[in-house]
């Protein structure tokens, strides 16, 4: 019994915190708090270059990048932090602020009506949060199904039988939200790092320039071909740009 309990606690711990080691970022945090953003930035960046992957580190690096005017870097790192934890509302807020500083305006469709409500619900839990919630509902369904055979009252049996099926609905919804976040996390995305980039109609510099994107704008990658990427900006503006001008929103 004790053994099972131990395993259960361990599982919960993993679910909540994830496995991983701890590192100290006290020094750059102190520099940041003293307003030495440039120094803080280079220290955060050094840690990232050492291969340390951490939501907090990406977020803090992005903050320092913002404070030193590196808006493209800031966008990239806020997005990375959000890849690890889409629930990080601070990163989401700061990303919005940073995007206001950019040249290219991106319409935010998450601001109005139903999509705002869905957006709020979606990010009220992390992807794993939704996954665990789905498991919980499934087990509740099983328990009420088992209970059907354990109770003797016919009326109660009926209710429990119905419940066991009803519990499958929130389980399905939870799965949907988890899957939605999963899809978003796996959408290949890139951030423009050069101050301005031409987007061509074909993967060739001899083709027509369709539009110009500026530093910090983020694009969805549709296809990659040699040094070229087919991208879409705001969904409908589609074209080819050179991959060297961008950085992938990718966590090593």
185, 176 contact by CB (below 8 A): no
Nearer to another protein, 54 or 245 (CB): 54
Nearer to another protein, 33 or 206 (CB): 33
Could you tell me which of 187, 212, 214 has the C-alpha nearest to residue 198?
212
Rounded to a whole number of angstroms, the minimum distance from the CB of residue 192 to another protein is 20
3-state SS, residue 210: strand
Could you tell me which of 73, 171, 205, 182 has the C-alpha nearest to residue 128?
182
CB contact set of 26 (below 8 Å; sequence gap of 6+) = none
Rounded to a whole number of angstroms, the minimum distance from the CB of residue 114 to another protein is 20
Rounded to a whole number of angstroms, the minimum distance from the CB of residue 83 to another protein is 10
Query: What is the rounded distance in angstroms from the CA atom of residue 130 to the CA atom of residue 133?
Result: 5
Nearer to another protein, 22 or 107 (CB): 22
Residues near another protein (CB under 8 A) are: 11, 14-15, 17-26, 29, 32-33, 52-57, 59-60, 63-64, 66-67, 84, 90, 93-94, 97-98, 100, 127-128, 130-132, 134-135, 138-139, 141-142, 145-146, 149-150, 152, 164, 178, 181-182, 251
Query: What is the rounded distance in angstroms from the CA atom of residue 151 to the CA atom of residue 148?
Result: 6
> Both tokens of residue 106?
């991106």
Nearer to another protein, 62 or 197 (CB): 62
Rounded to a whole number of angstroms, the minimum distance from the CB of residue 218 to another protein is 17
Query: What is the rounded distance in angstroms from the CA atom of residue 188 to the CA atom of residue 122?
Result: 20
Rounded to a whole number of angstroms, the minimum distance from the CB of residue 124 to another protein is 16
Nearer to another protein, 69 or 205 (CB): 69
Q: Locate tokens 């500026």: which residue?
A: 214
């Amino acid at each position: 019994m004790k053994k099972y309990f131990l395993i259960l606690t361990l599982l919960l711990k993993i679910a909540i915190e994830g496995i991983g080691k701890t590192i100290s970022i006290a020094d750059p945090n102190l520099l940041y708090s003293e307003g030495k953003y440039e120094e803080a930035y280079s220290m955060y960046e050094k840690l990232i270059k050492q291969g340390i992957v951490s939501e907090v580190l990406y977020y803090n690096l992005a903050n320092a990048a913002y404070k030193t005017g590196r808006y493209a870097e800031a966008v990239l790192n806020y997005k990375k932090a959000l890849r690890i934890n889409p629930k990080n509302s601070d990163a989401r807020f700061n990303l919005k602020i940073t995007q206001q500083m950019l040249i290219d305006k991106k319409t935010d469709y998450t601001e109005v009506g139903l999509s705002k409500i869905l957006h709020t619900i979606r990010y009220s839990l992390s992807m794993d949060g939704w996954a665990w919630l789905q498991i919980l509902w499934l087990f509740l369904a099983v328990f009420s199904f088992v209970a059907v055979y354990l109770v003797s009252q016919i009326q109660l049996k009926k209710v429990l039988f119905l419940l066991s099926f009803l519990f499958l609905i929130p389980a399905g919804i939870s799965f949907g939200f988890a899957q939605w976040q999963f899809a978003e996390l796996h959408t290949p995305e890139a951030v423009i790092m050069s101050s301005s980039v031409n987007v061509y109609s074909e993967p060739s510099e001899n083709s027509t320039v369709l539009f110009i994107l500026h530093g910090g704008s983020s694009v969805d990658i549709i296809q990659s071909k040699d040094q070229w990427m087919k991208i879409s900006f705001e969904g409908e503006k589609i074209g080819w740009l050179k991959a060297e001008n961008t950085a992938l929103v990718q966590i090593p």
